[in-house]
Amino acid sequence: MNYRLGMWVVAAVTMVGVSGCATKNWVHTQTAPVIQHTDELDAKTAANNDKIHDVDARAQAGISHAQGAADTATQNAQSASKSATDATTAANDAVHRADSLDSVVKGLDNYKQVSDVSVTFHFDKSVLTANDKAQLDSFAATLGAQKSYILEVTGGTDSAGPAQYNYDLSQRRADAVVQYLAAKYNIAPHRFYLIGIGKDQYVASNSTPEGRKENRRVRVQLLSNLAGDQQTAGTQAPGTGL
């Protein structure tokens, strides 16, 4: 009797153990796919977040690049507009200076050209050469016989380069001639009238090297008051001194 009871207890314990193992295996079998699926979702979410951050970074970079390009374009447009305005102003100034010679010199109609000289310059230069100085020396030798005169000094350039730059260059060339004559021959400042015309007025075609060289010039015209009127508007009478 006792032997049979023991066998029943052993059988019951064995069945409980087997049932417990089966339950654990079933739970593991059921939850493993869920855990795996959750892990896959986490990986996909992380990958999507990375893609979103990458797209956002590229979008921000594109916006910054576009904004930079727009700002640069605006600055270039403003610079071009300013250059055009400066060139127009310089051109108008040159015209006004040429037209105003009549208001500076009283009785300009009485002044007639007696002689003139032209000197040329190397490309983009405003320095007088030895040959230029020799020509100016020959021209200045005739000034002593004049009692009432003015010197109209007109600087020019060829067609290369921006308009504003050429106006400035033509003015520097005219200044170089005036400084040379004034310093060497003690010519009074009120006798000079400078005009920088840039590339506005050609004396030769700019399609050839020779023509462009001729346009890179300064022309000095000796205008003498043949009627003997030695008064200038608001200045010293041109008949005194050189």
Regarding whether 191 and 81 lie in a shared domain, the answer is no
pTM of the predicted model over 0.85: no
Regarding whether 206 and 131 lie in a shared domain, the answer is yes
Structural domain count, the chain: 2
In a domain, 157, yes or no: yes
pLDDT in tens, the chain (242 residues): 555 555 554 455 455 454 555 555 555 565 566 566 666 667 777 777 777 777 667 767 767 776 776 677 667 656 656 655 554 554 444 444 544 455 555 666 778 899 999 999 999 999 999 999 999 999 999 898 888 899 999 999 999 999 999 999 999 999 999 999 999 999 998 899 888 788 888 889 999 999 999 999 999 999 988 765 444 434 443 433 45
Regarding whether 80 and 130 lie in a shared domain, the answer is no
Regarding whether 207 and 104 lie in a shared domain, the answer is yes
Q: Who's near 182: CB < 8 A, 6+ residues apart?
A: 188, 189, 192
Regarding whether 27 and 139 lie in a shared domain, the answer is no
In a domain, 241, yes or no: no
Regarding whether 117 and 69 lie in a shared domain, the answer is no
In whole angstroms, give the CA distance from residue 196 to residue 217: 11
In a domain, 63, yes or no: yes
Regarding whether 65 and 117 lie in a shared domain, the answer is no
Cα→Cα distances 107→111, 117, 177, 227, Å: 7, 24, 26, 9
Regarding whether 212 and 109 lie in a shared domain, the answer is yes
In a domain, 28, yes or no: yes
In a domain, 240, yes or no: no
In a domain, 53, yes or no: yes
Regarding whether 209 and 116 lie in a shared domain, the answer is yes
Predicted pLDDT of residue 170: 93
In a domain, 231, yes or no: no
191, 76 Cβ separation under 8 angstroms: no
Regarding whether 112 and 77 lie in a shared domain, the answer is no
CATH assignment at residue 163: 3.30.1330.60
Q: Which of 34, 31, 33 is nearest to 23 (CA)?
A: 31
Predicted pLDDT of residue 83: 52
End-to-end CA separation in angstroms for the chain: 158
Regarding whether 79 and 116 lie in a shared domain, the answer is no
Regarding whether 11 and 77 lie in a shared domain, the answer is yes
Domain of 57 in residue numbering reads as: 1-85
- State the Cα angle at 238 between 236 and 241, rounded to 5°: 95
Beta strands in the chain (DSSP E): 111-120, 149-155, 192-196, 217-225
Amino acid at 132: D
In a domain, 236, yes or no: no
In whole angstroms, give the CA distance from residue 108 to residue 232: 9
Predicted pLDDT of residue 163: 92
94, 167 Cβ separation under 8 angstroms: yes
In whole angstroms, give the CA distance from residue 37 to residue 31: 10
